[in-house]
Amino acid sequence: MKKILITGINSYVGKSFLDYMKNRTGYKCVAISMRDGSWREEDFSSFDTVFHVAGLAHSDNGKISPEKSRAYYKVNTELAVELAKKCKSEGVGQFIFMSSAIVYGHSGRVGETRRISADTRCTPANSYGDSKLQAELGLKKLEDESFKVVILRPPMIYGRGCKGNYPVLSLFARRLPIFPYVENERSMLYIENLMEFVKLMIDNDERGTFFPQNGEYSNTSELVELIAKAQGKRLFLIPGFTWAVKLMGIFTPLVDKAFGNLSYNMSMSDYKKGNYRLFSLEESIKRTEDIQ
């Protein structure tokens, strides 16, 4: 039996993985909080894998204060490395770290291509992204034959109950009869596809850096249309407003987060030891909107 420790009992990914694995035979999953420091007194020697999802999420759309910047490094970098050192010293064989595509910087602006390849350098745009990258570098230094490190750099994660951009787009789809059509390309990752990917990482005793994403790219306007369709609504996409969207982008970075370009080459996300893309984009939208 595989025994798995999930750090971040209240995180969306952590709770989703616990729920995803609860009825599967051959696995025992335990979730803990990292907030009060009591984890330092726990014995991790019985765990095969630690899935570290606890962290300080990015909630700043403007300038990051020095205090918040220090908090990012303390939680996302220092805490992750400290935990990994404890895991290694107590005989845990595999450490899975939730990083992010944010290590490559911001999305490309509206109309600007931003396709990430295997040769693309990490260029974090702020302390949040850099805190994730510095954690990766610290974890890799700990790796050896008996301690395998898996780093996941997913794009935007969505699913039922998620936070972030998706609920806003869902609200637009439910409330608006029309929506601007803007050409863009986004990599996204449905939560259940991610959960299956993590399970495969554990099953195959993997190590290395991985870039899971859906099998299809998303276009923001077409995504809103799919959400409306899942809700039984008709939404009309209106072309010719790219200029207005670009203008709005001058005043708020939220526009580029929604309508800008950020995608991985599909070849980076192929996984030959198992199929993790259990649901297509359209199927995942139906499940997210709870339309079965």
Residues 119-144 have a mean pLDDT of: 95
Band the pLDDT of 87: cuts 50, 70, 90: very high
Question: What pLDDT is recorded for position 258?
Answer: 73
Band the pLDDT of 120: cuts 50, 70, 90: very high
| Domain residue limits, the chain | 2-164+188-215+265-280
Asked whether residue 74 carries a pLDDT value surpassing 70, the answer given is yes
At 22-39, the pLDDT tens digits run 989 999 999 999 988 899
Asked whether residue 214 carries a pLDDT value surpassing 90, the answer given is yes
Question: What pLDDT is recorded for position 5?
Answer: 97
Count of residues in the chain? 292
What is the residue whose two structure tokens read 């993790």? 276
Question: What pLDDT is recorded for position 37?
Answer: 87
At 159-207, the pLDDT tens digits run 999 988 899 999 999 999 999 999 999 999 999 999 999 999 999 999 9
What gap in Å lies between CA 236 and CA 149, rounded to an integer? 46
At 220-240, the pLDDT tens digits run 999 999 999 999 999 999 886
Band the pLDDT of 125: cuts 50, 70, 90: confident
Question: What pLDDT is recorded for position 245?
Answer: 66
Both tokens assigned to 12: 């969306």
Asked whether residue 60 carries a pLDDT value surpassing 60, the answer given is no
Residues 147-168 have a mean pLDDT of: 94
Specify the fold of 2-164+188-215+265-280. Answer: Rossmann fold (3.40.50)
Question: What pLDDT is recorded for position 155?
Answer: 95
Question: What pLDDT is recorded for position 63?
Answer: 75
Asked whether residue 292 carries a pLDDT value surpassing 60, the answer given is no
Question: In whole numbers, what is the pLDDT of the chain averaged over residues?
Answer: 91
Single-letter residue type at 257: K
Asked whether residue 244 carries a pLDDT value surpassing 90, the answer given is no
Comparing 60 with 144, the larger pLDDT belongs to 144
